Amino acid sequence: MSDAIAVHLAPPSPSVPVVTERRWVRRLTIAVALAFLFLFVILPLAVVFVEAFRRGWGGYLAALQEADAQAAIRLTLTVAAISVPANVIFGLAASWAIAKFEFKGKSLLITLIDLPFSVSPVVSGLIYLLLFGAQGLWGSWLMAHGVKVAFALPGIVLATIFVTFPFVARQLIPLMQEQGTAEEEAALTLGASGWRTFLTVTLPNIRWGLLYGVLLCNARAMGEFGAVSVVSGHIRGLTNTIPLHVEILYNEYNFVAAFAVASLLACLALLTLALKSVLEWRHGADLAGGAHR
Amino acid sequence: MGIRVAGVTKAFAGAAALHDIDLAVRPGELLALLGPSGSGKTTLLRIIAGLVEADRGQVFFGGLDATTLPVQKRQVGFVFQHYALFKHMSVADNIAYGLRVRTRASRPSRAEIRRRTSELLDLVQLSGYESRFPSQLSGGQRQRVALARALAVEPRVLLLDEPFGALDAKVRKDLRAWLRDIHERTGKTTVFVTHDQDEALELADRVAVLNQGRLEQVGSPDDVQDHPATPFVMTFLGQAARFPADIRDGRVLVRGKPVPVAASRSQGSPFQLYCRPWHLKPTAPGQGHQTGTISGVRRLGSMRRIEVLRADGAKLEVEVPLATSLRQGEEIGLEIVDGVLFPES
């Protein structure tokens, strides 16, 4: 009896796979997944670069150096430079409040943070137009005071902030909840001020999660089309961001220029992906919380 | 420096509230706050530290009224249950943290901080570990780093929340002796929270027993064990069997037979007599105050414990010498030779 059990419990030798699916099933599923990936991700990405370089380096650089393209790049960088820090501050404040304190309306706040994910960007753009546009709620008051929001930088920035604000907060809330308040309390008993505690204890504990959130937030801020498209008014050289500029060029059958500018966004995506992978690989435990203690 | 807690009350939505706690910790004393979970012992410790604000009442450190002092200004050394070491800092940086965050005027020089850090590492027997990170240490080592970090700021008092709660039995034992040693060397007034009676009784100069937010008794380990103030203290500190008792003509009677326990008054009923396993003595069946069947015999250190099943289905424990001839299944009588009498509540 005991012999029989011993035989059954003997660990399988390494050459025998634990998974029992037939070989052709495994091969087929892998092949399907790869085919999809190729068809829907790699091929389109390749097309962007092939089209962008159709007229060689010269054509590519010329398309990027054109005045309107330069203006679009500058605008996109400006928008990202304002909206990403704004969302870092908002995300830190919201996740700090949600993770470390108990207050009424907490679950409502969590739901609201997710709102931009569930609302179509076009709708959020329209809301800003309805609020700040010439015919909008505050439009005439703003006009009277010489403040231009819709069809100008402030409107684009507002729409971008709205669309991107879940990224940092969503990344930090579970992380901070997981970490609890013990380390902060320890710092306080050791005499550190609240601000000092935040800088020397809280921030280092969430730094990789924060960077991860910033990365995703930035990629979305630079690539946002829907909401920005509604509030920008598509004024060439003035209110066109990179994605809007690509659309205009494409609609004008200026394919090389369109793809050349689009390749910038593609490069940003690849860079984001690479940094994201590095972060996940090197600091996976810190991103998910726990595991490291 | 002594600690005095006066009339501290804290109401929570939920558990672990405190009702009107008065407690004085003597200078240099090692006091245990002992109680079951939810008794409010950790809340009381956190109120002393300033991490939780009391609804009412005051906290004094020596002559200083610390009630309104924020936690940063209270200068307490607090050791957290799960140590709460700064994960991203080395052992040395953890210990030096409290000195580095001081204002420029009161901050020691770099060399002085380094000297203090290595002195404390010596004290907690972790020299050579200064550049390790908390994740590279064992539970017992983390505990010692946490204590060194708390001592670095030269605290007025030392407060420890379940200091050995997360450690395995062997390490616990070692650390107990070590903490006692550190306490004697530093002479800091120390309060530690525990739910482990043995830990409290072995380690502390005095034990404060808490139950449901009320202080049941404060006394030396001998006091609380030999003269428990309430039935809760009696039962919480160890095994206790209960017998209904009366007092007649100044004598305590169980089932009409006298027991050698001093009566608190001359007449009255009903009372409950609480007996420890060593307050009972086996006799012949039918004799003594109680009859029962032996349902188990275990060894406990240098003694044996027999488990006796009473006719009413309740079990009680009796301590007998190691070389006992009693066997499982035997019927025996039990004589009460001592006990603690409480009026029935």
* Residue B266 binned pLDDT confidence (cut-offs 50, 70, 90): low
Average pLDDT over residues A104-114: 88
Tokens of B269: 């009923």
pLDDT at A7 over 80: no
The tally of CA atoms less than 13 A away on the side-chain side of residue A61 is 3
Question: A188 and B153 in contact by Cβ < 8 A?
Answer: no
Residues A154 and A283 in one domain: yes
pLDDT at A9 over 70: no
3-state SS class at B208: strand
* Range with the poorest average pLDDT among A56-60, A162-166, B168-172, B337-341: B168-172
pLDDT at A3 over 50: no
* Cα dihedral across residues A220, A225, A230, A231: positive or negative: positive
The alpha carbon of residue A186 is apart from the nearest alpha carbon of chain B, in Å, by: 7
The secondary structure of A134-147 as a DSSP string is: TTSTTHHHHHHTT-
Structural domain contains residue A203: yes
pLDDT at position B16, please? 65
Mean pLDDT of all residues belonging to chain B = 89
Structural domain contains residue A4: no
**Rounded to an integer, what distance in angstroms lies between the CA atom of residue A155 and that of residue A83?**
11
- pLDDT tens by residue, B53-87: 899 999 999 889 999 899 999 999 999 988 999 99
Residues A36 and A65 in one domain: no
- pLDDT tens by residue, B168-206: 888 888 888 888 888 998 889 999 999 999 899 999 999
Structural domain contains residue A7: no
The alpha carbon of residue B196 is apart from the nearest alpha carbon of chain A, in Å, by: 23
Alpha-carbon dihedral angle through residues B137, B139, B144, B150, given to the nearest 10 degrees: 100
Structural domain contains residue A13: no
pLDDT at position A267, please? 92
Task: Count how many domains chain A has.
Answer: 2
Average pLDDT over residues A187-214: 91
Residues A40 and A68 in one domain: no
Domain with residue A88: its CATH number is 1.10.3720.10
Is some CB atom of chain B closer than 8 A to the CB atom of A204?
yes
pLDDT at A6 over 50: no
* Residue A16 binned pLDDT confidence (cut-offs 50, 70, 90): low
Average pLDDT over residues B34-51: 92
pLDDT at position B157, please? 93
pLDDT at position A4, please? 43
Structural domain contains residue A264: yes
Residues A37 and A106 in one domain: no
Better pLDDT: A157 or B312: A157
Residues A106 and A142 in one domain: yes
Chain A residues within 8 A of B149 when measuring between CB atoms: 186, 190
Show the domain range for A274.
61-288
Question: B51 and A188 in contact by Cβ < 8 A?
Answer: yes
Residues A127 and A25 in one domain: no
pLDDT at A288 over 80: no
pLDDT at A77 over 50: yes
pLDDT at position A247, please? 92
- pLDDT tens by residue, B97-128: 999 998 888 889 999 999 999 999 998 889 99
Alpha helices in chain A (DSSP H): 2-9, 23-37, 43-52, 56-65, 67-100, 106-118, 121-132, 139-144, 153-164, 166-179, 182-189, 194-197, 203-223, 226-232, 242-251, 255-288
pLDDT at position A200, please? 93
Write down all domains in chain B, each with its CATH number in brackets: 3-236 (3.40.50.300), 241-343 (2.40.50.140)
Residue A220 in contact with residue B102, Cβ under 8 Å?
A: no
Chain B residues within 8 A of A183 when measuring between CB atoms: 84-87
Residues A227 and A125 in one domain: yes
Residues A189 and A102 in one domain: yes
pLDDT at position A37, please? 93
Structural domain contains residue A135: yes
Residues A31 and A106 in one domain: no
- Main-chain dihedrals φ then ψ at residue A13, nearest 5 degrees: -70, 150
Question: B97 and A205 in contact by Cβ < 8 A?
Answer: no
Instruction: Look up the pTM and report it.
Output: 0.80
Provide ipTM, 2 decimals. 0.84
pLDDT at position B252, please? 86
pLDDT at A5 over 70: no
Q: Report the relative pairing of strands B56-61 and B64-65 from DSSP bridges.
A: antiparallel
pLDDT at position A10, please? 47
Average pLDDT over residues A115-136: 86
Residues A42 and A73 in one domain: no
Tokens of B164: 């050995």
- pLDDT tens by residue, B151-173: 999 999 999 999 887 778 888 88
Chain B residues within 8 A of A187 when measuring between CB atoms: 86, 97, 101
Residues A120 and A244 in one domain: yes
pLDDT at A290 over 70: no
Q: Report the relative pairing of strands B251-254 and B257-259 from DSSP bridges.
A: antiparallel
Chain B residues within 8 A of A190 when measuring between CB atoms: 97-98, 101, 149-150, 152-153
* Residue A136 binned pLDDT confidence (cut-offs 50, 70, 90): confident
Average pLDDT over residues A96-123: 87
Of A186, A191, A204, the CB nearest to B80: A186
Q: What is the DSSP letter of A133?
A: S
Structural domain contains residue A88: yes
Tokens of A142: 């703003």
Average pLDDT over residues A54-65: 90
Which among B61, B87, B136, B159 is the top mutation candidate for probing chain A, defined by the most A β-carbons within 10 Å of its own β-carbon?
B87
Chain B residues within 8 A of A192 when measuring between CB atoms: 72, 97-98, 101
Of A196, A201, A292, the CB nearest to B86: A201
Of A182, A185, A190, the CB nearest to B98: A190
Residues A121 and A70 in one domain: yes
Mean pLDDT of all residues belonging to chain A = 86
The secondary structure of B42-85 as a DSSP string is: HHHHHHHHTSS--SEEEEEETTEE-TTS-GGGS-EEEE-TT---
